Structure 1
């Protein structure tokens, strides 16, 4: 690893530690945001623009540094802001944070992985060039794949930044709205499991697989139709 990558890694670690230290213990927990909900709501009512900017910056930092708590922050956004405003803030903050995390993974890891696993990555790169948007869309909607892991894995591929941004923005929107809507009645939420039912998880998974399945069906049967 060259000196630039070493310095960049140190900067990332420093930002991670600084963000983690500045957040009091338990802040990014369900009980923590319930405890401070009224005080935060009062602050939002007193200074709405500043509150929105602080919330946006915090969400970007948590997402970009892969600090656990994005789902909790989404609930908090639903409790503090109107649904439309919370949707705009969380959607763009989560996508920006995810893109920064992906770029960090790409800068630090991709070249080494591409060299060490050249043959395997050749197959991966070919698949991403053909169905990259579909794969990313499916991964974003499938609850089995954590947010930070998708960012890390996509950074190892050659997917374009613009494509990564807009696919992530669209694919993460349904879950964002669900969590924001749940945050409007934060007091009734006892656990994150109360928000997304098994049926909803299955529906998200099927929705994520739909573009890939549709493309496969077209590629398989459309040529025969043309003939």
Structure 2
């Protein structure tokens, strides 16, 4: 029992400590603006250590399903630039999502399947048809909560390799959009102005390529759904 649910208990304990110590108050635009220069100095003095810390922090926040991860993506772009910052976020987010996947798979059972609700049941059908393409589609177009998409594949036998690859590829477009916002946010934050994140992913030059990738990910699903059975 402890081996099965131990990792889940540890994860819940980490989340409880994080919120009890007020960690959520440090992952805000105000905190980023107020500490921007000090953090830039830290990155300049120790870029490698700062990069590793960012990856670890991002993985931890995703693992406890903290909803403010996109802000950390902006911070990554601000401190490391679009390319490096976005790449670090992809690694950290994929690691965090994989941790959740492995814990859910280890602790999965009928009771947990019943608790995921109608959203989970709808997602389950897609995973059983074509896990890789369906998961990548969900990552590209976040129509379901990120934390739910982390858990449901583990309950329905999705392979770890497919999960990791589809997650990493699927989060790349959105990640680099927010990282690019962060890369250009220095002057805005220095002036004490507010970053406008509304509609960042809905601009034509952004949503167009994302929808194109989503359409490509649909092809294997549609092919499998509509192909005719071979004549005996």
TM range (shorter): 0.7 to 0.9
Name the residue aligned to 2:93: 94
Unmatched tracts of structure 2, length 5 or more: none
TM-score (norm 2): 0.80
The within-5 A match list for 1:17-56 is 17-21=16-20, 24-56=23-55
Match of 2:14 in 1: 15
The alignment status of 1:212 with 2:218, answered yes or no, reads: yes
Please state if 1:141 is matched with 2:140. Answer: yes
* C-alpha spacing 1:32/1:116, structure 2 compared with 1 (3 Å): closer
Alignment CA distance shift 1:108-1:205 (3 Å):
farther
Deviation at 1:213, TM superposition (A): 3.7
Mapped contact 1:189–1:195 kept (Cα < 8 A):
no
Task: Please name the residue that 1:106 is paired with.
Answer: 105
46 and 194 in structure 1: CA distance in 2 versus 1, 3 angstrom threshold: farther
Supply the distance in 2 between the matched residues of 1:202 and 1:183 (Cα, whole angstroms): 21
Number of equivalent positions = 221
Contact 1:142–1:208 under 8 Å retained in 2: yes
Q: Once the two structures are superposed, what CA deviation does each residue of 1:120-145 show, in whole Å capped at 9, x if it has no partner?
A: x9998785354111110111111322
Deviates further, 44-53 or 186-195: 186-195
The answer to whether structure 1 residue 173 and structure 2 residue 179 are counterparts is no
TM-score, normalised by the number of residues in structure 1: 0.81
Query: Who is 2:200 aligned against?
Result: 195
Q: CA deviation at 1:202?
A: 6.8
Deviation at 1:104, TM superposition (A): 1.7
Aligned partner of 1:70 in structure 2 is: 69
Are the aligned partners of 2:123 and 2:152 in contact in 1 as well (CA < 8 Å)? no
